[in-house]
A and B are shown apart, each in its own frame.
Chain A
Amino acid sequence: DGGITQSPKYLFRKEGQNVTLSCEQNLNHDAMYWYRQDPGQGLRLIYYSQIVNDFQKGDIAEGYSVSREKKESFPLTVTSAQKNPTAFYLCASSIFGPIRMVEQYFGPGTRLTVT
């Protein structure tokens, strides 16, 4: 079965600790994305990557870091510099191309709670 997996589903951390969220896809998609969703809010883009070894900041990249060493994997690290890390984190992927209809497909998400 092709799809996107995120682990863990729920994650609890103490304030001041860095934490890494996993995202893996076997859809052979070139592009991958990280979003966060807060209650009653729309999804906001944190980082995205179009190809291996390249990534770009999204709208709210401060306090986060990513890597893209493999096409299938795009882990997100929430650092202690992120002021409000508690949120629902969603990873997505898509094919990449010029201006065209490009749908994104989402993983099941990780709920991070920092206390």
Chain B
Amino acid sequence: RKEVEQDPGPFNVPEGATVAFNCTYSNSASQSFFWYRQDCRKEPKLLMSVYSSGNEDGRFTAQLNRASQYISLLIRDSKLSDSATYLCVVNVGSGGGADGLTFGKGTHLIIQP
């Protein structure tokens, strides 16, 4: 079983719509969760950390469900500039992050005008 799984998409969504991604992780001892955004041929950039109580940053909302071992990302009022690949990232290490993160393969989002 893969450690971090995501639907690869692509998700084709009209501008202004709401889109949601899920990501499942296999290690119940995972401590830290993140969503990164990666544009084509660029480095990943941190979009938001995911806290146990859920958190929101503008149009973006992240949720964590430890019982079911999944995290989600909701994007409201999507913009053309939201088109990118969204990486689900989980810390499965025991050192609090120093031994690296485990990355999903990403979900490709295309916002259409």
Footprint of B on A, CB under 8 Å? Answer: 30-31, 33, 35, 40-45, 48, 50, 56, 58, 88, 90, 94, 96-109, 111
A-B pairs with beta carbons under 8 A, tally:
73
Does B105 touch A at the CB level, under 8 Å?
yes
B residues contacting A by CB (< 8 A) are: 4, 8, 31-32, 34, 41-46, 49, 51, 87, 91, 94-106
Given contacts A42-B4, A43-B103, A103-B49, contact A31 B97 (CB under 8 A): yes
- Cβ contact within 8 Å between B31 and A99: yes
Contact B98 A50 (CB under 8 A): yes
CB distance from B10 to the nearest CB of A (A): 12
User: Do A94 and B98 touch (CB < 8 A)?
Assistant: yes
13 contacts between A and B (CB under 8 A): A42-B87, A42-B103, A42-B106, A43-B103, A45-B100, A90-B43, A94-B98, A97-B97, A100-B32, A100-B96, A103-B49, A104-B97, A109-B43
Partner of B100, one of A33, A41, A97, A99: A33
Chain A residues within an 8 Å CB radius of B100: 33, 35, 45, 48, 58
B98 touches A96 (CB 8 A): yes
**Are the CB atoms of A104 and B99 closer together than 8 Å?**
no
A107 to B104, CA, bound (A): 19
Is B99 in contact with A42, judged by CB distance below 8 angstroms?
A: no
Select B46's contact among A30, A98, A103, beta carbons within 8 Å. Answer: A103
Of the listed residues A50, A102, A106, A111, the one surrounded by the most CB atoms of chain B closer than 10 A to its CB is: A102
Q: Judging by beta carbons under 8 Å apart, are A102 and B106 in contact?
A: no
Query: Would A102 and B43 count as touching, CB distance under 8 A?
Result: no
Option from B87, B96, B101, B102 in Cβ contact (under 8 Å) with A98: B96
Closest to A88 in B: B41
Contact in complex: A90, B44 (CB < 8 Å) = yes
A107 to B97, CA, bound (A): 18
Residue of A with least CB distance to B106: A42
Q: Given A42-B103, A43-B103, does the pair A106, B96 have CB atoms closer than 8 Å?
A: no
